[in-house]
Amino acid sequence: MPLFQIRPRFYPIKLNAYSKSEVELTIDVENLSNDACWSECDVILPPEISLSHDASLTKGRLRVGIIDAKGSRSGKCKIYSTLGAYPGVYTVSLIVYAYGKDGAIAGREEKKTDIRCEGIRK
């Protein structure tokens, strides 16, 4: 049985190709266990998009925070397109870790989600 449920969402829902644009990634983590936990999330991107607006950064860690038993919490980060981002669908990998009271990893869940990158229409 999974320890938590991961629900990612993007706003706006797409990036622009061949230009710099950004979306906000919100990761909702719901704790399904009967104990509170500390949660963090690794965000892994393909090289055409980045976690930094002015450099190539394809991996980062997001602190979600303390989630009460049967509770939920959200974490946010920005994802940026680069000038080399072509139209298509890019896969974003999320790995969420839960740490128990003793600081040891109590659980780990992976989820992949897709983000669209579209050309600008004139």
Q: Tens digits of per-residue pLDDT, 54-93? A: 999 999 999 999 999 999 999 999 999 988 889 999 999 9
pLDDT score for 6: 95
Are the C-beta atoms of 117 and 90 separated by less than 8 Å? yes
Average pLDDT of the chain? 93
For residue 68, give its domain range: 4-118
Q: Read off the DSSP letter of residue 122.
A: -
Share of the chain above pLDDT 90, in %: 84
CATH number of the domain to which 91 belongs: 2.60.40.3880
Q: Helix (H, G, I), strand (E, B), or coil: what is residue 99?
A: strand
**Is the preceding peptide bond at 47 cis, omega within 30 degrees of 0?**
no
pLDDT at 11 over 80: yes
**Number of structural domains the chain divides into:** 1
Phi, psi of 103 (to 5 degrees): 90, -5
pLDDT score for 122: 57
Residue 88: which of 5, 20, 16 has the closest Cα?
16
